[in-house]
Structure 1
Amino acid sequence: MDQRERYRLLYCRSKRTYLPNEQTSFLFIGNLDLLTPNAKTTGVITKPQSPTEPSAPGPVTVTPAGAVRGSWMDSRLGRRFQAYRGIRYAQPPVGELRFQPPVDMEEYSSEVDASEEGPGCPQPERPGKYPMDEDCLRLNVYTPDNNSSRKLPVVVFIHPGGFYSFAGRSDLFGPHYLLDRDLVLVTLNYRLASLGFLATGDAVAPGNNGYKDQVSALRWVQRNIAAFGGDPNKVTISGCSAGSRSVILHMISPMSKGLFHQGIAMSGSPVGKVAVPTQQFELAQKQAALLNCPTNTSRAIVDCLKTKTWQEIGNSLNGFWSGSSDAVSFWTAIVEPDVGQPRFLPVQPDEAVRQGQFQAVPLLISQTEGEFFWKAFAVTQNQTRRDLMNSEWETIAPESFSLPEENSAAASHRLRQAYLDDKPIEDTPESSEALGKLYGDSWIGLNVHRMANLLCRHSSQPVWYSAFSYVGNNSFYQDPTTHKPRGAAHHDDTIYVFSQSYLRPPIQARSPPPPAPQDHLMVERMTAIWYTFAKYGDPNPREGELPELSSLHWPAMKPEDRKYLKVDRQFSVHEKLHEDRLQVWDEIYPMQY
């Protein structure tokens, strides 16, 4: 057994010991249970909580597609609003529609019961039977008033999860914070993993169906949102991580043109170290092998996978990690072949931006201060892994930091010099911090940096850049000993925009002693920024509006004046976010801006 294989085996074993604590910070192996605080501390999975709803008859909205009956919810501050959940926006992608582009749902044959949550898309089944089904192309609409004469700005949220997990359900990304503002919120599901992103490189499975699901949902919004009180001419698309990459790609995709007017991209971008691939046939083969299907041709793979149940496909997800140590995700957008159907992505994203082949809209783009800093602890606090990474750095680093195969040894050496000062990894705060920055930059920071710099140079619309640095009472990473946050981790900014009852109690407006009141203030500030941006296309408040933003003066990013907003206990403006350490990536993997 070689050193690399030993490292992989150690890592796989560590998933059952150290990493469950880490996995409170990310859907690392597609298992939401490991994200649940109760699961982390007691091993008990709690049933998803249902928001409190008054017993009054549910509201009805008559849309161009048909009547939809919803339910009532109460916001964080006690505002009553209408909730329409689990609405099909496309035909069920089952049978012959599996692995095919979505078919829009343009008309309902009878009144739609949208009073309860719809299922999430297939992923590994969990204790407690978290609701899932292949018939999952559903969206939720939350509105303060469906009869308002003044149409409200619309925010559409695309959920994170590496394109293989999470959902748009209200127990994961709930409306209870944003609906204290005068806006309409839409959250949506899209097909995940192989069901959404199988890409064989030919007409059998051209790819990008998960993104095309999102396009179908945006078309539904354009046709129907006015009936819910929303303004179809003022739609902001937003997303975190995988959802953030989606937001940027919708700006580039010809399929999405005219379907939205502003964007919020949190911790993700499709522009990184290498070009977007033109196919992912090897992932199709992997999926086929996991389910005992032939792997020789695209047609044989797809025909066999169509005979499998969605449960078999969903539950096979963890098999994709059997030979990889630090992979975050596998599925990605692909530059589609021209096989006679509309292409979501016909050109490389960076090339599209440089050539002006994109929909220029006002954009908020951000990353968290720490992102994946916590990944370092699995190495620095484990002597076997630490010693092995030190002795086999040039073998292990390419996998851990998603480096291209070409010249990977030289790139690994240069990164060790830049981040670790060419010193051995040790169990010290300094070493953990340095290694954590390398994880965060390699997976998120570099991509966001490159996209922000591209767009501020080539977009005719303003780009506002920010770093979320606030550390509150909750985090997607909590120290396994103290059970307290240690930094602003990946996804942590979403904690103050959405209620997440599956994962943690809501942030109350009136809480017990400090520091909880500061969390309340962060909810007020984050939702105010989103509302102001959705309403005006600019996050800066208008005079006399929103006192919680009175200290906000956020300049747009310019090529020659690369300012960004630091979001912490106070707002502050700085320049050249992490450019001192990111310049090494431009040296190793040059890219034209």
Structure 2
Amino acid sequence: MARILFHCVLFCFAFVFGQKDDNIITQTPSGRFVGSLMTSRRGRPIHAYRGIRYAQPPVGEMRFQPPVPIKHYKHVVNATAEGPACPQPAPGYLLDEDCLRLNVYTPGRLGNGSLPVLVYIHAGGFYSVSGRSDVAGPQHLLDKDLVLVTINYRLGSLGFLSTGDIHAPGNNGFKDQVVALHWVRDNIASFGGDANCVTLAGYSAGGVSVALHTVSPMSRGLFHRALSMSGSPYSQIPFHSNLLSLAVKQARLVNCSVSSTAELVECLRTVPWRVLGYSLKGFQEFSIDPILIWTPVIEGDFGQERFLPEHPLEIIRAGKLYSVPYIVSQTRDEFFWEAFLVLNNSIYRTLINEDYYKVAPSAFLLPSPSDLSAKALRREYLGDRDLGNTDIDYVDLGKLYGDAVIGFGAHRLANLLAHNNKEPTYYYEFDYIGNQSHYVDPTTGKPTGVAHHDELIYLFSLPAGFEPIPVSDSRDSFMVDKLTDIFYNFARTGNPNSLLDDKPVTWPPIHPSNRKYLRIGDHFSVHTNLFEHRFRVWEHLYPIEYII
């Protein structure tokens, strides 16, 4: 009788959620999920489960509170469509404060709990983007035998408000990520994934997040390999115990009282989420800078579970780094395109020339006091000259932007891991210019450098902004195949090498005395000391002990 009822239930779900052939159903320890069919780039079937809530909606009194996990679903979950992105300034995009969702993509044939799992934390500076399939689609990676999970986490003030006291200790966006990892641990075997073979990967803000999970006591044991692409928490940017100045700025932008932190937080709890999400421009100080606004905080103990209870370097010094095989990367040019925004605008160009010491902290993310470091960086990168709109000015200012925002941090992360990670750490430079890019010349419409985010074009399908890459003998098609090879093999074995290339290139781990890295371009090649001639000035200005 129970068997008859089960088949009846399956038929009813198929009827309600679409044609029976278009839906699939998975039963997990937490509940039953109805998904849909997609197709990979090479025509393989994908079982897609999208828009799954992994935590209670963080709304009302739960705004600015730690996430509350969903451990059991009382009703069948319709996971056939995308959930909303978290609040951000994105007109026309599906947004909602009830955004703690994840997507699961599995090969058409399940692996009986044996497939490697890749959990992806999206980019966006902690204030934009999402894990939705239009910006992190599975069509490239699901040509491999792995399970892909993409997640949302709260953004901006909704995710990272910190007053440094009991009213808003901070780091809720990171705690969202932890709850998503718990969901993966508890449920992924039912989707064919191996809960003991989870790779945590992230880009930019996501890469920062991944590195922090290796020092957070909340994340320990929830993943087994790590991958930080163009993102690192270790740079010239200091760690603080609160972001009170940002909380006050947010409150003033929406006319909330700042007479006490209690009143501030309570008032912000009543502001419509769309107003908070759309207030981002109020945090900009020069051009689109600062490109990074909200950062992780070292949480005081107010009785809450703390994502970051002490400075990450102190955690490493205490021998508490969670050592796993790790890949660190940066692109060749990163944020070079910000130089065009500044130098092609007469107002910004005048400001950076005549008021350099005022705009440099915002533009190059320099901590206070900043005049001495700003002066040293101007001398090193720009030769103390005034900038115009010449080719050499674009190149030099672009390098300063790229190193300030991403490059130096990636260098520091790779070297910290080289000294302290007990597992191998691999380092690469993405040096490939294909037919598409996150920055193209406005006149020619063609890429002019290797921009921040560019390898995502080959790892994921990105229909929100890019044309699909067809299967062919083109350079771009080759890059899709090779980059997904690297990620798949690393997820499977912790070593990216055996599927690396048709040619006998061996990508060695980085070591303190032999700092090798892989250059990924039209050809793969191994080199040493990535951009270290430029990073010497940063190391002098912001020194740390790498052996800690």
Q: Among 420, 444, 447, which residue is 1:482 paired with?
A: 444
- Aligned partner of 2:142 in structure 1 is 179
Equivalence map 1:22-37=2 (5 Å): none
Q: CA deviation at 1:590?
A: 1.6
- Aligned partner of 1:212 in structure 2 is 175
Q: Secondary structure at the match of 1:452?
A: helix
Q: CA deviation at 1:591?
A: 1.5
Q: Distance in 1 between matches of 2:529 and 2:153?
A: 35
Equivalence map 1:469-548=2 (5 Å): 469-510=431-472, 517-541=474-498, 546=499, 548=501
Is the Cα contact below 8 Å between 1:89 and 1:105 reproduced in 2? Answer: yes
Q: Among 206, 215, 219, which residue is 1:256 paired with?
A: 219
Q: Among 359, 372, 375, which residue is 1:410 paired with?
A: 372
Q: Among 397, 408, 419, which residue is 1:435 paired with?
A: 397
1:587 equivalent to 2:513? Answer no
What code does the residue aligned with 1:524 have?
A: D
- Aligned partner of 1:83 in structure 2 is 48
- Aligned partner of 1:558 in structure 2 is 511
Is the Cα contact below 8 Å between 1:356 and 1:459 reproduced in 2? Answer: no
- Aligned partner of 2:422 in structure 1 is 460
Taking a change above 3 Å as real, the CA distance of residues 414 and 328 of structure 1, as seen in their structure-2 partners, is same
Q: Among 257, 273, 277, which residue is 2:236 paired with?
A: 273
Equivalence map 1:237-386=2 (5 Å): 237-321=200-284, 326-386=289-349
- Give per-residue Cα distances to partners, 1:438-462, cap 9 Å, x unaligned: 1100111111111111110011011
Q: CA deviation at 1:391?
A: 3.0
Q: Distance in 1 between matches of 2:177 and 2:109?
A: 23
Q: Distance in 2 between matches of 1:467 and 1:336?
A: 34
- Aligned partner of 1:426 in structure 2 is 388
Q: Distance in 2 between matches of 1:426 and 1:324?
A: 16
| Deviation larger for 267-276 or 462-471 | 267-276
Q: Among 82, 86, 111, which residue is 1:117 paired with?
A: 82
Instruction: Give the number of equivalent residue pairs.
Output: 529
Q: Secondary structure at the match of 1:255?
A: coil
Is the Cα contact below 8 Å between 1:199 and 1:280 reproduced in 2? Answer: yes
Is the Cα contact below 8 Å between 1:200 and 1:207 reproduced in 2? Answer: yes
Query: What's the TM-score, normalizing by structure 1?
Result: 0.87
Q: Distance in 2 between matches of 1:258 and 1:109?
A: 28
Q: Distance in 2 between matches of 1:292 and 1:196?
A: 20
Q: Distance in 2 between matches of 1:202 and 1:146?
A: 49
- Give per-residue Cα distances to partners, 1:502-528, cap 9 Å, x unaligned: 1111111138xxxxx100000001100
- Give per-residue Cα distances to partners, 1:338-397, cap 9 Å, x unaligned: 111110001212232233222110000000000011111233334554344233333332
Q: CA deviation at 1:581?
A: 1.0
Query: What's the TM-score, normalizing by structure 2?
Result: 0.94
- Give per-residue Cα distances to partners, 1:399-438, cap 9 Å, x unaligned: 22111221x2222221122112333323322221111111
Q: Distance in 2 between matches of 1:201 and 1:426?
A: 43
Taking a change above 3 Å as real, the CA distance of residues 226 and 82 of structure 1, as seen in their structure-2 partners, is same
Q: CA deviation at 1:274?
A: 3.9
Is the Cα contact below 8 Å between 2:286 and 2:363 reproduced in 1? Answer: no
For structure 2, the residue ranges without an aligned partner over 5 or more in a row are 1-17
Is the Cα contact below 8 Å between 2:113 and 2:191 reproduced in 1? Answer: no
- Aligned partner of 1:568 in structure 2 is 521
Q: Distance in 2 between matches of 1:324 and 1:479?
A: 19
For structure 1, the residue ranges without an aligned partner over 5 or more in a row are 1-52, 512-516
Is the Cα contact below 8 Å between 1:98 and 1:195 reproduced in 2? Answer: yes
Q: Distance in 2 between matches of 1:366 and 1:243?
A: 13
Taking a change above 3 Å as real, the CA distance of residues 60 and 426 of structure 1, as seen in their structure-2 partners, is same
Taking a change above 3 Å as real, the CA distance of residues 309 and 532 of structure 1, as seen in their structure-2 partners, is same
Taking a change above 3 Å as real, the CA distance of residues 372 and 192 of structure 1, as seen in their structure-2 partners, is same
Q: Distance in 1 between matches of 2:113 and 2:62?
A: 39
- Aligned partner of 2:409 in structure 1 is 447
Is the Cα contact below 8 Å between 1:353 and 1:454 reproduced in 2? Answer: no
Identical aligned pairs, as a percentage? 51
Q: CA deviation at 1:69?
A: 0.5
Is the Cα contact below 8 Å between 2:482 and 2:500 reproduced in 1? Answer: no
1:102 equivalent to 2:55? Answer no
What code does the residue aligned with 1:506 have?
A: P
Is the Cα contact below 8 Å between 2:135 and 2:463 reproduced in 1? Answer: yes
Q: Among 174, 178, 199, which residue is 1:236 paired with?
A: 199
Taking a change above 3 Å as real, the CA distance of residues 232 and 467 of structure 1, as seen in their structure-2 partners, is same
Taking a change above 3 Å as real, the CA distance of residues 236 and 547 of structure 1, as seen in their structure-2 partners, is closer
Q: Distance in 1 between matches of 2:385 and 2:22?
A: 66
- Aligned partner of 2:358 in structure 1 is 395
Aligned CA-pair RMSD: 1.7
Q: Distance in 1 between matches of 2:103 and 2:379?
A: 48
What code does the residue aligned with 1:178 have?
A: L
Q: Secondary structure at the match of 1:419?
A: helix
- Aligned partner of 1:130 in structure 2 is 93
Is the Cα contact below 8 Å between 1:146 and 1:227 reproduced in 2? Answer: no
Q: Secondary structure at the match of 1:82?
A: strand
Q: Distance in 2 between matches of 1:54 and 1:319?
A: 47
Q: Distance in 1 between matches of 2:500 and 2:311?
A: 42
